[in-house]
Amino acid sequence: MEYVHTILAQIAASNATAAESLLNELEAHRAVASTMRGYNGMRVSRTAHPEGNVLLVVETRWANNNAMVDYSTARENAFSIVEKHQDILVPGSLQTHRLESNSGGESGEAPNRMYDRLALALFVPVGVLAFALVVIYGMSRIYLALPTTGASIMAICVALGILLISAYFATNPSVPRWQWLAVAVAGIGALAVGGTVAAVYDEDNKEVHAAPTVEPSPGGGAETPTAPGALVIDMTDNKFDVTELTVTAATEVVIQLKNSGAAIHNVDVAVGGSFPSGICKKGDAGCSDPANIRAGQSGTVTLNLAPGTYDYRCDFHPVEMTGTITAQ
């Protein structure tokens, strides 16, 4: 079975010569229609008698109903081309019909049905999932490179942009495919540029991440630095090899940090009694200004704590990676 999109129109006898431009446009449109999925052919016919009005018949044939509907609702199709030439048509003669035809036979329909089923059940979900993963990874890299306030503002802008784009496509169901492609290319391009800028930013600020320090907490007493390597925390995916540490209170202590995992980790100590919301960044109150340490790299965190017990965690994995430091 085939599906036929048919346009009927009468061209006034006095405009028969001017109709050549319309016919030329339809012939040029044949190449455009042939690129669409499910296209089976196009035929343009007109009455052969030289006198009286000319009956114009344009048929495009499609392998399945979905393909015909996609074509008939596209911004440019045979109907829209004929409609532009109302000045040479007999008023009220323009008609359009969607027909079914058995001339195509059943054998030509099965491959298209199989394609439609695979496209809806497999290709579309897999494609959406892959695109979502790319977006999530790219956005996470960008957010990590931004200050807390900047990351919040960007998240709001991205959310508003997604809502506006979704509203546009929802209210314009027949938008051309190039607009969908343009949005996808723009999104991927923005992620690529943003990810590159974030990587450059991290590289330029490597010294900030390599050895962050904390101003000494009030407590008094002589400052006797702990020998390098005496206190070590090794980070893997996703746990600390040490979850309990004891240090000397009111003394500057250097803790060696090593990332043996594949993900980014850090050691954030709640020097103010509680952790700030989100990922600890330089300048946040109550935060130990921890190093964001990439896989295979190392760093240090320097503390001077008053007597007491302090929690520490990895800001990127705050549930799995936790521990306590006792200053006495």
CATH of the domain at 86: 3.30.70.100
Whole-number pLDDT of residue 103: 60
Does the reported pTM lie above 0.75?
A: no
How many residues comprise the chain? 328
| Domain around 57 | 2-101
DSSP type of residue 13: G
Amino acid at 210: A
Highest mean pLDDT among 96-100, 140-144, 182-186, 277-281: 96-100
Q: What is the mean pLDDT of the chain?
A: 78
- Check pLDDT > 90 for residue 281: no
CA-CA-CA-CA dihedral for 272, 210, 198, 153, to nearest 10: 10
Give the residue-averaged pLDDT of 157-186.
80
Number of domains making up the chain = 3
Q: Are residues 87 and 9 in the same domain?
A: yes
Q: Which of 31-45, 279-293, 309-323 has the lowest mean pLDDT?
A: 279-293
Whether 244 maps to a domain, the answer reads yes
- Check pLDDT > 90 for residue 60: yes
Q: Are residues 153 and 178 in the same domain?
A: yes
E strand or H helix at 42? strand 39-46
47, 70, 101: which is the final residue of a domain? 101
Please list the residues that pair with 98 across neighbouring strands: 5
**Contact between residue 304 and residue 253 where contact means Cβ atoms under 8 Å apart:** yes
- Check pLDDT > 90 for residue 49: no
Q: Are residues 257 and 298 in the same domain?
A: yes
Whether 287 maps to a domain, the answer reads yes
Q: Are residues 315 and 244 in the same domain?
A: yes
Alpha carbon of residue 173 to chain centroid = 20
Q: Are residues 216 and 318 in the same domain?
A: yes
- Check pLDDT > 80 for residue 259: yes
Q: Which residue has the tokens 């929690």?
A: 311
- Check pLDDT > 90 for residue 78: yes
- Check pLDDT > 80 for residue 244: yes
How far CA 230 is from CA of 98, 251, 300, 307, in Å, comes to 82, 14, 12, 20
The pLDDT tens digits of the residues spanning 195-238 come to 777 666 555 544 333 333 333 333 333 333 434 446 899 999 88
Query: Do strands 252-259 and 232-236 pair parallel, antiparallel, or not at all (unpaired)?
Result: parallel
- Check pLDDT > 60 for residue 309: yes
**Contact between residue 321 and residue 313 where contact means Cβ atoms under 8 Å apart:** yes
Whether 129 maps to a domain, the answer reads yes
Provide the 3-class DSSP secondary structure of residue 229: coil
Q: Are residues 225 and 305 in the same domain?
A: yes
Q: Treating both helix axes as pointing N-terminal to C-terminal, what angle do 124-145 and 148-171 enclose, rounded to 10 degrees?
A: 150
Listed in order, strand segments (DSSP E) in the chain are 2-11, 39-46, 54-62, 95-101, 232-236, 239-240, 244-247, 252-259, 268-269, 298-304, 308-313, 322-327
Comparison of pLDDT for 3 and 170, the residue scoring more: 3
Highest mean pLDDT among 33-47, 90-104, 130-144, 287-301: 33-47
Q: Are residues 168 and 63 in the same domain?
A: no
Amino acid at 52: G
Is residue 228 exposed (0-12), middle (13-18) or buried (19+ Cβ within 10 Å)? exposed
Whether 106 maps to a domain, the answer reads no
Whether 283 maps to a domain, the answer reads yes
Contacts of 254 (CB under 8 A, 6+ apart): 225, 226, 228, 231, 300, 301, 302
